[in-house]
Amino acid sequence: MNRADPKETCCHNDVMTPSLQAVAGLLADARSLSEVAREEASSFRSNYGHDIPLKHLSDRVAMYVHAYTLYSAVRPFGCSFILGSYDKDDGPQLYMVDPSGISHGYWGCSIGKAKQAAKTEIEKLQMKEMTCREVVKEVAKIIYIVHDEVKDKAFELELSWVGEVTNGRHELVPKDVREEAEKYAKDSLEEEDDSDEDNM
């Protein structure tokens, strides 16, 4: 659920079983951390016989990232990491790890260049009362809102979700939902432009 930019920022990929992962920052660091997350999830599954709870995976990734802040021989990871999952016992879960090694659970979070602006927008949403489809539209709208036409290069929107709607699997948002979300986002941007003009 993040913007994609040819040079830097995000990609999203599967860890193991039902969780999604989005990253922002130096892509090489992000890939290496993804691999760490995959190995943690895999070894947990191998040792304990069931899928790793997301909080625990997030703690493990965070501990790993934190370790790189302890020694002068290595530099900290240059990326933030969002992990999300859905299962019928724990429901939907969202965790984020930042380069300092802190990990928190969230109802909504943002990472990357425009994270502060996006955070403000997210705080306006009432996520607990919204369905997955509604949230997808809002997320697309936020991505479009925070994109600075002047300073930023063109971007490509990538949307993926995991939830009851996908039976717990991490999937790219289907084409029709995606198009609906993009249209909603572009329309609401135009509305805001129009309302600005009216005030003149």
Partner 1 sequence: MMIFGNLFTALNLKGVNYCCLPVTERSNRGKMAAAASMMPYFAQQISSKNDLVPDWMGQEVSTGTTIMAVEYDGGVVIGADSRTTTGAYIANRVTDKLTPIHDRIFCCRSGSAADTQAIADVVTYQLGFHSIELDEPPLVETAANLFKASCYRYREELSAGILVAGWDRRKGGQVYCVPIGGMMVRQPVSIGGSGSSYIYGFMDSNYKPDLTKDQCLDLTAAALSLAMERDGSSGGVIRLASISEAGVERKVILGNQLPKYSTH
Are 3 and 112 contacting, i.e. CB atoms less than 8 angstroms apart? yes
What is d(CA 189, CA 138) in angstroms, rounded to the nearest whole number? Answer: 12
Are 140 and 184 contacting, i.e. CB atoms less than 8 angstroms apart? yes
In angstroms, give the least distance from the CB of 64 to partner 1: 14
* 19: Cβ contacts below 8 Å, ≥ 6 apart: 41, 54, 57, 83, 84, 85, 162, 170
In angstroms, give the least distance from the CB of 139 to partner 1: 30
Closest CB to partner 1 among residues 48, 71 = 48
Closest CB to partner 1 among residues 30, 54 = 54
Closest CB to partner 1 among residues 67, 74 = 67
In angstroms, give the least distance from the CB of 103 to partner 1: 13
In angstroms, give the least distance from the CB of 50 to partner 1: 6
What is d(CA 69, CA 74) in angstroms, rounded to the nearest whole number? Answer: 8
Footprint of partner 1 (CB under 8 A): 47-50, 53, 55-56, 59, 89
- Quick one: which of 22, 1, 95, 81 has its CA closest to 52? 95
Closest CB to partner 1 among residues 56, 186 = 56
